[in-house]
Chains A and B, each alone.
Chain A
Amino acid sequence: MLTGVSEAVYYILAAIIIGSGVMVVSMKNIFHSALFLVLCFFGVAGIYILLSAEFIAAVQVLIYVGAITILMIFAIMLTARLYSAQIKQSNEQVVPGLIIVSALLVITIFALSKTTWKLSSQAPETQTVAEIGKLLMTTYVLPFEIVSVVLLSALIGAIVIARRD
């Protein structure tokens, strides 16, 4: 359970995530959106640390901030038209969209609030990296192998799309 300080930190992080998330989709300049995405990802990494999942937090920063967002920023900066373009951030379906999404949100919150959560009584692992590595090599060896195939096919896809004929 979250108590005291950690509870306060949690709410701050949540505010950062939601706030920057809203900024990502509402900024008119796509470059600014990308920068807010970095902030958003950092917030998520913070949540992971709060949950004693340091390894996931590190991976989150490495991959999402360090690789994906940086790649996006490069793409934006290399594409001159995108860098300076002012992008329209709403369209004719704002009203129906808002209604439907709010309804979805309300329903989800309702479902989550009514749920009795399954809580683990175990103390948090301290050696998370080793434990994850062990699980990936034993119990989860099949998904682990399949993920490599997913990445491989995505890689081929990227090559096919980017290749010069």
Chain B
Amino acid sequence: MDWIIPAVNLKLILPEIVVCLFAILILVTDPFLSKERKIWSAHLSWIAVVIAFIANIRLWNLQEATFTNMFLVDNYATFFKFIFLAGSFLIILISMSYLKREEILHGEYFSLILFSTLGMMLLASGFDLVVIFLGLEIMSVSLYVLAGFKRSDLASNEASLKYFLMGAFATGFLLYGIVMIYGSVGSTNLGQIINHITSNDAGSNLLIWAGAGLLLVGFGFKIASVPFHMWVPDVYQGAPTPITAFISAGPKAAGFAALLRVFLFSFTTIKMDWTMIVWIMAALTMSVGNIVALAQSDIKRMLAYSSIAHAGYVLVALVAGGETGVSSALFYLLAYTFMNIGAFTVVIALGRKGQDNTKLEDYSGLGSRSPILAILMTIFLFSLAGFPPTAGFMAKFYVFGSAVKSGFTGLVIIGVLNSLISVYYYLRIVVLMFMQAPVTRTDNERIKVAFCAILVLIISTWAVLQMGIFPQSLLSLAQASVSSIF
């Protein structure tokens, strides 16, 4: 028997290796840390993210596949890994004080965050449906557990269980879709799939269509698109708040990374016209997300619906397609990561032990209790609503601009109307913060914000304003990232 070991270039997978090794290192060292020293696991984890980030920078402008064409490094993947790593870094920082406050500081938490990040990175780099599926699984399994990390809290348990059941169900669809594609193409490699589709008359091959549909269901679940969004509010509300922020940033972007890659690269629109169905999904996702957000009274739930709505905006970019469409989607996801994590950081800062203070009325009079927090929250909410000069405005501008250029004016009109609706519920919080007296409460002491959370607030504010006022540098990064997938 001949053994041909495929050529492996470990340099390409270095960021993933770093993240994985540190995750295991944390597991190994954590039991030896005394209760006071547990925070070292957190430090280890952000160090891992920073090292991976640096390793990732060295991969910029590289386009190379390894592991028998299953793992592809290109600017598209590298850009997404920047988003994931930046998101994870911020989440680790805000988690430290939160976990201490809730007295659930365990090393496994950070280990799971790293594993989840690893899964996302594999999703972005996977050039084979098997790798994409496995990446999705690593990411999801870790998230299921993280959502239920507050074990003494019933809501957290409920979130975890619901997320797990729904997630497993959706994964079933995804796997079934992969099987169908394998059945008709004979391979799971994205390159082989595109070859098969362009060389044969794939339009008449129903099995590929069925497979594509099921993949859309699976990814649609991860990005929380209507009608696969039902899990979002329950999970977002119940999960520990840093994890809520985490789920809404990284995994959503990772879902998009795989979705955009598979659909725009392999199921090229020239041969398979799936634009119409995504058009409908985008319109529904934006509308349902924004309209239901109006009726929420809990800020985590409200942000959950807002995150559904934002997935809709990114789907608009997918509909637009082309280089401008994808680069605007990348820019949008980057902007969303920062503004959303920023908003959640303020939400965390307002909480107390065992008392999250996430009702909307808890925000009354925040402007007088803590003006700086209120101003920062206003910046993040303005950005989410898409006001200039914030990142959210520029991101929406580019997405809608690319859609208009591709001729989807109708969808853009729906999108703009939705942005208008969203202004109502974002501004409602601003009005509460600055124009209402604080509710009488027993714990009216000063709000203390941990150093790491302040750091996160500074970074996010800077990013939101940087991308809003001087979007060019990051936009050209995004533009440089997309050429490889066409």
Binding site for B on A (CB under 8 A): 107-108, 110-112, 114-118, 130, 134, 137-143, 146-147, 149-150, 152-154, 156-157, 159-161, 165
The distance from the CB of A85 to the nearest CB of chain B, in whole angstroms, is 18
- CB-CB nearest in chain A for B24: A152
Contact of A149 among B106, B138, B185 (CB under 8 A): B138
In the complex, how many angstroms separate the beta carbon of A12 from the nearest chain B beta carbon? Answer: 24
From A111, A138, A142, name the one whose CB has the most chain B CB atoms within 10 angstroms.
A142
Q: B283 within 8 Å of A by Cβ?
A: no
B: which residues have CB within 8 A of A? 1, 3-6, 8, 20, 24, 27, 67-68, 70-71, 106, 108, 111-112, 115-116, 118, 122, 128, 130-131, 134-135, 137-138, 141-142, 144-145, 148-149, 151-152, 183-186, 205-207, 209-210
Give the residue of B6, B67, B112, B205 whose beta carbon is less than 8 angstroms from that of A153. Answer: B112
Look across to chain A and name the residue whose beta carbon is closest to the beta carbon of B206.
A111
From A108, A112, A138, A156, give the contact of B4 (CB < 8 A): A138
Q: Are B184 and A153 in contact (CB under 8 A)?
A: no
Say yes or no: A149 contacts B115, CB within 8 Å. yes
Closest-CB distance, B211 to chain A (whole angstroms): 9
Which residues does chain A contribute within 8 Å of B205, judged by CB atoms? Answer: 115-116
A115 touches B186 (CB 8 A): no
Chain A residue contacts of B118, Cβ below 8 A: 149
**Closest CB pairs A-B (n = 8):** A157-B145, A142-B67, A115-B207, A111-B206, A153-B115, A146-B134, A111-B210, A114-B206
- Inter-chain contacts of A142 with B (CB < 8 A): 67-68, 70-71, 131
What are 12 A-B pairs with beta-carbon distances under 8 A? A110-B206, A114-B206, A115-B184, A117-B183, A118-B183, A118-B185, A134-B3, A142-B67, A142-B68, A150-B134, A152-B115, A153-B112
Separation of A107 and B207 alpha carbons in the complex (Å): 11
Contact B137 A150 (CB under 8 A): yes
User: In the complex, A130→B144 CA distance in Å?
Assistant: 36
The answer to whether A146 and B6 touch (CB under 8 A), given A111-B206, A153-B142, A157-B145, is no
Contact (A143, B207) CB under 8 Å given A118-B186, A149-B115, A165-B151:
no
A150 touches B141 (CB 8 A): yes
Do A153 and B141 touch (CB < 8 A)?
yes
CB distance from B354 to the nearest CB of A (A): 14
How far is A146 from B70 in the complex, measured between Cα atoms in Å? 12
A152 to B6, CA, bound (A): 25
Please determine whether A156 and B6 come into contact, CB atoms closer than 8 angstroms. no
Neighbour of B206 across the interface among A115, A139, A146, CB < 8 A: A115
Give min CB distance, B140 to chain A, whole Å.
10
Are B138 and A150 in contact (CB-based, < 8 A)? yes
Contact of B142 with A157 in the complex, beta carbons under 8 Å: yes
Q: Known contacts A118-B183, A138-B3: does B206 contact A156 (CB below 8 Å)?
A: no
Whether the pair A138, B5 counts as a contact (CB closer than 8 A) is: yes
Q: Which residues of B contact A156 (CB under 8 A)?
A: 27, 108, 111-112, 115, 145
- B183 and A141: CB pair below 8 A? no
| Distance of A152 Cα from B116 Cα, bound (Å) | 12
B3 CB → nearest A CB, Å: 7
- Whole-angstrom distance between the Cβ of A46 and the nearest chain B Cβ: 19
Smallest Cβ-Cβ distance to B157: which chain A residue: A161
What is the distance, in angstroms, from B108's C-beta to the closest C-beta of chain A? 5
Partner of B210, one of A108, A146, A157: A108
Contact of B151 among A117, A150, A161 (CB under 8 A): A161
Contact between chains at B210 and A139 (CB < 8 Å)? no
B68 & A154 in contact (Cβ 8 Å cutoff)? no
Chain B contacts of A157 at CB under 8 A?
A: 112, 141-142, 144-145
- A149-B115, A149-B138 known; 9 new pairs, CB 8 Å cut-off, are A107-B210, A110-B206, A112-B210, A137-B3, A146-B131, A146-B138, A150-B137, A156-B115, A161-B148
